[in-house]
Structure formats: structure tokens, C-alpha cells
Structure 1
């Protein structure tokens, strides 16, 4: 029997993923029409939905900062390849009730609400006809020059951008008492409602930290779903209060990392290496 080193094993797995992606790229796709519960016919084949997770679009030397030109390269790739951005409402209607989605749906999200989301990401996304969902740290909006103002948030909202909660202070909820965590969830939701005229339905966990008690608090606070930083795609097997995303980071070869993380997720899930 031939024994393979760990490195050789990794290379073989990567090669298989590459070949699978190459083969998949030649196969035509059909519109995604599926569901999550008993309303869905058992014979319907379900497709998971990629949810990208960004933070900053600027020139800082930081893993969470994607330079504007590289962010545009990524948006151009999505546009060239026929992706259509969707809202969390559309995602949940698909997962729960089988509502139809565009042929290649993608949900783009940003955490924290940095000013560069407005000054840098917003114009690029408008150029390609895309929208995003931005999870706000409400104590920083309009109070810290590194973050957006409420007027800027409202301007983006008018162009179809969706805003959710990322708590009041960005403190990981797992480190707070039950009462403190509930205050973060409820007060951030109230502030967004007061500023934008409607209650936010969606939440993103600060630093990605969550557990079952925190999930239950998110439900009790009135949110319809919540997003983690756990790598993977959102699908009918996902917990709606622990939805997977594909975090996008800066690197020496940022676009290659973006390409691999976006395209590898469905392959890895199919092989049962993540979530499934």
C-alpha cells in the first residue's frame, strides 16, 4: 500500500476540488426554487446560497480591510458571472417557503457599519447594480468619525440596502449576563427602528460568538434570523439563528482567496466537509 504524506493528501484534495469546479463550470444552471419545511415537496432538489461577509473597504493594512480596487475586482467577477444580490427577506422566504430566487443568488453583508461602506463600497456596488445588508453597531453610528452617520445610512436604505443589528456596543453576547445581552439586542433594534422607520429583522453576532442561550435571546428580542462568521453557505439544513457566511479577508492574493472561498464552499458541503 502506498502511503501519502499529509501534504500530498492536501494537494490531492485541492486537485479534486479544482477538477470538480472545472467540470461544474461547464454545466448550465437553472432557477433556484426550493423550500425549508413541510411546504416543500420532498422531490425538490435544494441549492444553498452564498452569503459573503465583509467589514471594511479601504487601504488599511488589516485583514478585514479590502482595498477598493480589489473589492471592485470581486464585484466585477460576480457581475460577469451572472450573480444577483438578494435581501435577507428573499433568503428567508426561499429557505422557509420555497419562494423562487434568481438563477445565481448571492447575499452580500458588511459588519459594523464603517464609513468606508458608504464612501468606497456603496459607489462600486451601485455601479454593478448590487445591494448589501449592513449590520450596525448603533452606539457608533453618527458618534464616531470612523463610522457612518444616520443620514448616510438612510441614503443607502433608499437605494435598497438593508440594515440589521450588530448590537449597541459590539460586545460578544456570550460574555454578558442574560439581562445585559437582552439590553444590547433590544436597544440596538429600537435605535434602528427610530432612525429608519422600521424594525430590523436580522442580526449578526459580534465577533461571531454565540451559543444556544444567546440564540434564544435573539429570538425573544424579535429577530427573524441571525448570521455567524462560520464558513459555509446558507441552506435549508442551516439553523436560521446561526446562518453560515463566507468571510472575505485581505491577503497577498486577495482575489484568489475570494475565488476559492466562494467556489469551494458548495464543493466542500457536497463532500460533507463543512456543515453537511
Structure 2
């Protein structure tokens, strides 16, 4: 093309509505990208304590619910490498359940996953927090983990022998940006066995105590905005009262969240994780769900 032809092309008068069409085209293009990225099935993994298998203290934490620190580090590292987005409870609520907010551009090509821990075991601080620090320094990636806490079991300040987290330990993880702190009831009671007064106390006082602990670090009161049923136990009455004080609530039922077909924010399913499931197996589950999600999305099926 000659210089004159190039000049004529540049100065060519665009038809009416050309720029509007161009803008709309870009909007549609990025909407398609976002639609293709968004997967209807999200793995929500439910852990408890973190066991350092190389430590003598491992004898104090028995049972399958305590997951290996070494396997946890392998899992988190592979999730980073495989371009996963570590969701908070508010992320899931805003971007996937209610879709009240658009997914930020930097997350549109990432695969979503949620890593949650129940009961507030101290090992989440002593064994998990150093791993989160280590991986952030290595990959410059902030991993968010969800802690469902029973504030009635928070260790007293200065207590060294408690098996559960203290308020200061919660605050440290929150201040560093690793913890998403949510409610698990005040004292981890089976809510279906309580009368109305006891039920409200377990639900409401839990929120009050957690927000009291983190008040100056949580100006938007995101702490204790979401709930996980102790033992995964709930009924219509429990669900009704939880919905008065929380935006959503989580089960522990070893089922998958297909948010494309999901209607009830107070029955969010989670996968049950114990030490029998290796990091490799969990990663394979996440990757398989990602593949299945794309297939379901292309077929527009629930």
C-alpha cells in the first residue's frame, strides 16, 4: 500500500454509528471471554486441622480429619502453578451466587477454588500460616483460606497449651491478608437439637464475638458474614434463623456446587477432605471438575 493510499485510509470518513459499533463489539468480545471462563462447578474443599508429620506434637492430633502439612503445601503450590483463584466466601457470594458484581479482569482466566477449615484448630496458625507466607514469597501470590470459627473455643490470651486458635492468632492471619474469618456457631453445638433461645445465642453471639475480636481490622464487617453449620446439621428452623443474620451458609456433605443451577444460598455444599486424600488426588479432582464444568457450560446443562 502506498503512502497516499495509507493517508486516504486514515482520513476515510467513518459511517455513522461506527465508533458505537466498535465499542459494543469490544463489550461483546470481553463478555464472551468472561462467559467461557466462568465454570459452573466450583470445588469447595473442607479441611480441619493441619498436622506436621515431622513433628513430635503430631501424637496430640489424632484422627483422619487432621490433614498433612506436607500434602497441604504440595496442593496449594500446584493450585498456584495451575492458575487457580482462591475464593473467599464474599467472592463466591458476589461473583458466582448473586452475580451482583462482575468478575475482575485479572481473575477472568483463572479457575476458582475455595479452601476452608472448620473448628479453629491452632495448627491452622502454627502449621498452615508459615506455608502461606512461604508460598507468597516464592510466587508473589496471596492465598486466601476460609476459617469457620467457634469463638466460644478461642484460646485465652497467653495460653500455650490450647489446641484451638486465640483471638490474637486470628488477627495476625487476617492482618496479613490470608484469613477469611467466618462463623461456625458459638460452641460447635448441633443446632438442630437446640430450642429457639439457645439457637439464636449460638448464631448471633458467634458473630458478635468474632467481630469484636477483629473490629479494627475489619471496617466493612466482612468477618462473620457467612456461616457453616456445625456437624453439617441443619433443618428448616436452623436455616431460617441463620438467614436472618448471615448472607450464606455452608454444609459439609461431600457434594459439589454447581452454581449455574444453584438457588439456595444457605445450603452451599462442600467436599469433605481427610488425610486419606493426597494432594495429587485433590488436584486431580479440581482439574476434573474444571473440565466437566466447561463441558456442562458448552451444553448449557445443570
CA–CA distance in 2 between the matches of 1:261 and 1:61? 25
CA–CA distance in 2 between the matches of 1:249 and 1:227? 18
Q: May I ask how many residue pairs the two structures share in their alignment?
A: 234
1:180 and 2:198 equivalent?
yes
Match among 49, 58, 63 for residue 56 of structure 1: 49
1:139 and 2:187 equivalent?
no
Structure 1's 65 and 214: CA in aligned 2 closer, same or farther, altered over 3 A?
A: same
Q: Which runs of 5+ in 2 are unaligned?
A: 1-30, 54-60, 136-141, 216-220, 297-301
TM-score normalised by structure 2 residue count:
0.70
**How do 1:223-234 residues align onto structure 2 when only pairs under 5 Å count?**
223-230=246-253, 231-233=255-257
Partner of 2:270: 245
SS in 1 for 2:204: helix
Which deviations, in whole Å up to 9, do the C-alpha atoms of 1:207-241 show, x marking residues without a partner?
11112221111012x10111111221251433211
TM-score normalised by structure 1 residue count:
0.76
Query: Per residue, is there more helix in 1 or in 2?
Result: 2
CA–CA distance in 2 between the matches of 1:247 and 1:259? 14
1:114 and 2:121 equivalent?
yes
Structure 1's 45 and 120: CA in aligned 2 closer, same or farther, altered over 3 A?
A: closer
What's the RMSD between the two structures over aligned residues?
Answer: 2.7
Structure showing greater Rg? 2
**How do 1:122-201 residues align onto structure 2 when only pairs under 5 Å count?**
122-128=129-135, 129-143=142-156, 145-160=162-177, 161-197=179-215, 198=221, 200-201=224-225
Q: Which runs of 5+ in 1 are unaligned?
A: 1-29, 35-42
Structure 1's 45 and 189: CA in aligned 2 closer, same or farther, altered over 3 A?
A: closer
Question: 1:234, 1:244 within 8 Å by CA — same for their partners in 2?
Answer: no
Deviation of 1:72 (Å): 0.8
Structure 1's 98 and 31: CA in aligned 2 closer, same or farther, altered over 3 A?
A: farther
Partner of 2:40: 47
SS in 2 for 1:75: helix
94-103 or 187-196, which moves further after superposition?
A: 94-103
Question: 2:86, 2:143 within 8 Å by CA — same for their partners in 1?
Answer: yes
Deviation of 1:61 (Å): 4.2
Structure 1's 187 and 71: CA in aligned 2 closer, same or farther, altered over 3 A?
A: same
Structure 1's 105 and 31: CA in aligned 2 closer, same or farther, altered over 3 A?
A: farther
Structure 1's 148 and 75: CA in aligned 2 closer, same or farther, altered over 3 A?
A: same
SS in 2 for 1:194: helix
